[in-house]
Amino acid sequence: MSIYSRGLHFLFPPLCLHCEVRMVKFPPLFCSHCSLFFNLIEPSTRCPYCFTENENRMRCLACQKRGGVALPTAAALDHIGPVFTFVRKMKWMPYLIEAGVSLLIAQWIQLEWPLPDLIIPYPEGLWMQRGTISARLAQGFARHENLSYQPLLKRGERMGLKGRGKVEGKRVLVIMNLLEASTPLEEVAEVLLKDNAEGVYALALARSIY
């Protein structure tokens, strides 16, 4: 196989990435059935602080009970079926990152959140920060929208910030690959607000439903 045809094969695989149905005429990565899972979540159907299903667009009971800082939080997609496959394959198919960035931007526009001054990636691991999927999505988002990008959050025992005064007076958008129930969003909001961020928002590509 020549490099050229291998490249084509890579960009336009003959099989759907998720269910491996043979693709006849469509160049997209997923077949028409699987591509339905990539419709953006309608924000009005979710709790604005944890993005679980909630018809009246109010802070849900679980969020009220938890108390603490209410950090506006959203995701583009639910982490199920083909989306699960997509998120997993992003690790070794870097060109999928661009698709992830487009989904994030589209959801951000739909949310009508204010324009951020700063994009910060969620620190996925304790040690590794650079090159994580969250970091690459955040970088892509910042580049597309011409915003500044700084990986300022760090994880230790608790969430921390690299340096002081860097988010002062700024509206911060935290970008993450996967939002899980265990994601310490309150800690993220706390450290950024303590450093006098003007506002903090969190946007994930996919939200784990477990």
**Residues of the shown chain interacting with Zn ion in the complex, contacts defined by CB under 5 A:** 16, 18-19, 21, 31, 34, 47, 49-50, 60, 63
What is the Rg, in whole angstroms, of the alpha carbon atoms belonging to the chain? Answer: 18
Nearer to Zn ion, 63 or 178 (CB): 63
Q: How far is the CB of 149 from Zn ion (least distance, A)?
A: 28
Backbone angles phi, psi at 184, to 5 degrees: -80, 70
Q: How far is the CB of 51 from Zn ion (least distance, A)?
A: 7
Distance CA 124, CA 184 (A): 11
Q: 3-class DSSP state for residue 82?
A: helix
Tokens of 99: 């698709």
Q: How far is the CB of 45 from Zn ion (least distance, A)?
A: 12
CB neighbours of 31 closer than 8 A, spacing ≥ 6? Answer: 16, 18, 19, 21, 23
How far is residue 14 from each of residues 4, 10, 18, 169, 174, measured CA to CA in Å?
15, 9, 12, 50, 36
Q: How far is the CB of 58 from Zn ion (least distance, A)?
A: 9
Backbone angles phi, psi at 148, to 5 degrees: -85, 145
Nearer to Zn ion, 50 or 167 (CB): 50
Q: How far is the CB of 200 from Zn ion (least distance, A)?
A: 16
For residue 136, the one-letter residue type is R
Nearer to Zn ion, 49 or 86 (CB): 49
Nearer to Zn ion, 83 or 138 (CB): 83
Nearer to Zn ion, 15 or 106 (CB): 15
